[in-house]
Amino acid sequence: MSYKHTVLWNVDNLKEGESASPAIIEAGLCINRGEAVAFPTETVYGLGADAANDKAVDEIFAAKGRPGDNPLIVHIGKLEQWQDLASYVPDMAQKLATSFWPGPLTLVVPKKQTVSEKVTAGLSSVAVRMPDHAVARALINAAGVPVAAPSANRSGRPSPTKAEHVQYDLDGRIAGILNGGDAGYGLESTVVDCTGEKAVILRPGGITKEQIESVLGVNQVQQTSTIREEEAPKAPGMKYRHYAPSSPLVLVDDHMENYIEKERQAGKKVGVLAVEENKNTFQPLAHLFISLGSVENLEDIAAHLYHNLRIADQSDVDIILCETFLKRGIGTAIMNRLEKAASGS
């Protein structure tokens, strides 16, 4: 569906527990009508539609240009809504929900037969989370239904952390955008598969492996982020190229100066994404330098990663070189997004 105008509702400063504003009520009515609405969460902006309405779910896939075998995460506003989606809740899922909900954690559990196969991509499981954002939960409660919501961007592009990012990608393709200010974590939620004997981290995010292990035990947690080509992904971000700028993105572990020189000698305009501590070294060599933030504050680097990728993407550089990070704590999630963005470059 195309729209002559995508409505932008400003809902900054909504406090937890406050009554939904007229804008949120209107956005909830749009979801009830089977339309797709973008909204802020504490991770990134999501593109939401009624998870029980197949035509509404189709609106999400059409707006994003998203592959149909890529499952969606269902967002709930109240804990009891979980029972409408899961055939049963494994003990490990209950422990994680108790520890981290509301928050940036998605739990994959066995689904009820009533859950749309368009949401689950035909799988026997469903991915569920409760966002830690007053606007998000107010919208879900105003809609009165669980809300299926991937990130609110064109498929494969860097995820949106600002309403303006959503507008740039999806204006005219969706009913409206709830502008609730900048997202917090800046990276999508951690996804944990709770359908087996052990918890399996399918996608790293704001809740780290170490935090999950502190609840379940070190021997009860595994991590994977890749699958075979013929497999259906259980969670978003596993199978396809994601988070990518248009220009090729190359990850550089060391000797950045040599890479810059090589690309410049090939006649290319070079953009560099690196930590603030390396600015004085790399900025004089590159056509464009973008500071990712201080290496001492990886949480801040994560929060602004997609915004910085979009800045690089909207420049005139031919290639983007980006520093890498240790895969520890939130660094694991940062590297997961960068590796997906560089895939196929």
**Does residue 190 have a known ligand-binding role?**
no
CB atoms < 10 A from the CB of 95, how many?
16
* Two structure tokens written together for 155: 């498929």
**Does residue 243 have a known ligand-binding role?**
yes
CA separation for the pair 292, 308 (Å, rounded): 7
| CB-count burial class (<10 Å; 0-12, 13-18, 19+) for 318 | middle
Whether residue 102 is preceded by a cis peptide bond, meaning omega within 30 degrees of 0, is yes
Which helix (H) or strand (E) covers residue 321, if one does?
strand 319-323
**Does residue 43 have a known ligand-binding role?**
yes
Residues whose CB falls within 8 Å of the CB of residue 292, separated by 6 or more in sequence, listed in order: 273, 274, 275, 276, 301, 304, 305, 308, 323
Strands (DSSP E) found in 163-259:
176-179, 190-193, 199-203, 221-223, 249-252
**Does residue 203 have a known ligand-binding role?**
yes
**Does residue 93 have a known ligand-binding role?**
no
Amino acid, res. 340: K
**Does residue 306 have a known ligand-binding role?**
no
**Does residue 189 have a known ligand-binding role?**
yes
**Does residue 324 have a known ligand-binding role?**
no
**Does residue 228 have a known ligand-binding role?**
no
Dihedral pair phi/psi, residue 194, rounded to 5°: -110, 25
Residue set of the binding site for L-threonine: 43, 75, 129, 149, 189
Residue set of the binding site for ATP: 66, 70, 151, 159, 203, 243
Residue set of the binding site: 43, 66, 70, 75, 129, 149, 151, 159, 189, 203, 243
